[in-house]
Amino acid sequence: MTTKIKRSLRGSIPAWLVLIAMAGCTSSHYRESADKAAYGVLREKTPLVKNMDGAFSIEQTNSLHLDNLPGFTNSVDFFGPDGVTEHGARILRLEDALGIAIRHSRSYQSRKEQLYLSALALTLARHDFTPIFSAGAKGAYSEKAAENPALSDNFVEERGVTSSGSVGADWLVRDLGRITTAFTTDFLRFVSGDPRLATSSKLSATFVRPLLRNAGFKQDMESLMQAERDLLYDLRDFTQFRKDFSVKIAAAYYDVLSNRDTVRNSYLNLQSSRKNADRTRALAREGRVAGTDLGRQEQQELSAESTWINAIRSYRQSLDNFKILLGLKVDTNLVLDDRELATLQIHHPEISVDDSTQLALATRLDFMSVKDRVEDTERKVLLAQDGLRADVSLSADASIVSGTRENFSLPDGRRYSWSAGLDIDPALDRTAARNSYRAALITRNKAARTLEEQEDQIRLDVRDSWRTLDQAKRSFEISEIGVRLAERRVEEQALLAEWGRSKAQDQVDAQNALIDSKNQRTKALVTHTIARLQFWNNMGILYIKDNGRWEDLQDAKTK
pLDDT tens by residue, 472-503: 999 999 988 988 998 888 888 778 877 767 67
The DSSP call for residue 393 is: E
Residue 382: its pLDDT value, please? 94
Distance CA 491, CA 486 (A): 9
Distance CA 41, CA 435 (A): 35
Ramachandran quadrant class, 372 (left: phi over 0; alpha: psi -120 to 50; beta: rest): alpha
Whether residue 446 is contained in a domain is answered as no
Whether residue 161 is contained in a domain is answered as yes
Range of weakest confidence among 70-79, 355-364, 386-395, 460-469: 70-79
Question: Cα dihedral sign for 490, 493, 495, 500?
Answer: negative
pLDDT band at 555 (very low <50, low <70, confident <90, very high): very low
The predicted-structure confidence for 115-163, as pLDDT tens digits, reads as follows 999 999 999 999 988 888 888 888 787 777 666 665 555 666 667 777 7
Whether residue 217 is contained in a domain is answered as no
Residue 187: its pLDDT value, please? 59
Share of the chain above pLDDT 70, in %: 88
Those residues whose C-beta lies under 8 Å from the C-beta of residue 186, and which sit 6 or more positions away, are 162, 163, 164, 198, 199, 200, 201
Whether residue 122 is contained in a domain is answered as no
269 and 519 in contact (C-beta within 8 Å)? Answer: no
Distance CA 519, CA 157 (A): 100
Output the pTM of the full model: 0.84
Residue 145: its pLDDT value, please? 66
C-beta neighbour count of 500 within 10 angstroms: 11
Domain count, the chain: 1
With a cut of 60, say whether residue 460 has pLDDT above it: yes
Distance CA 463, CA 486 (A): 34
Whether residue 142 is contained in a domain is answered as yes
With a cut of 60, say whether residue 172 has pLDDT above it: yes
Whether residue 305 is contained in a domain is answered as no
DSSP letters, 168-206, are: EEEEEETTTEEEEEEEEEEEEEEETT---B-BEEEEEEE
283 phi/psi in degrees, rounded to 5: -65, -35
Whether residue 416 is contained in a domain is answered as yes
The DSSP call for residue 547 is: T
Q: Which residue has the higher pLDDT, 280 or 554?
A: 280
First to last CA, the chain: 100
With a cut of 60, say whether residue 20 has pLDDT above it: no
The DSSP call for residue 550 is: B
Task: Locate the DSSP E strands across 402-544.
Answer: 412-425
The predicted-structure confidence for 230-277, as pLDDT tens digits, reads as follows 999 999 999 999 999 999 999 999 999 999 999 999 999 899 888 888
- The separation between CA 385 and the C-alpha centre of its own chain, rounded to angstroms, equals 35
The predicted-structure confidence for 366-383, as pLDDT tens digits, reads as follows 999 999 999 999 999 999
Rg (CA), the chain: 39
Whether residue 451 is contained in a domain is answered as no
The closest of 321, 329, 327, 328 to 256, measured between CA atoms, is 321
Average pLDDT over residues 170-186: 83
Residue 540: its pLDDT value, please? 92
Distance CA 79, CA 261 (A): 11
Containing structural domain, residue 411: 1-43+131-173+175-212+392-425
The overall average pLDDT reported for the chain is 85
Q: Which residue has the higher pLDDT, 538 or 163?
A: 538
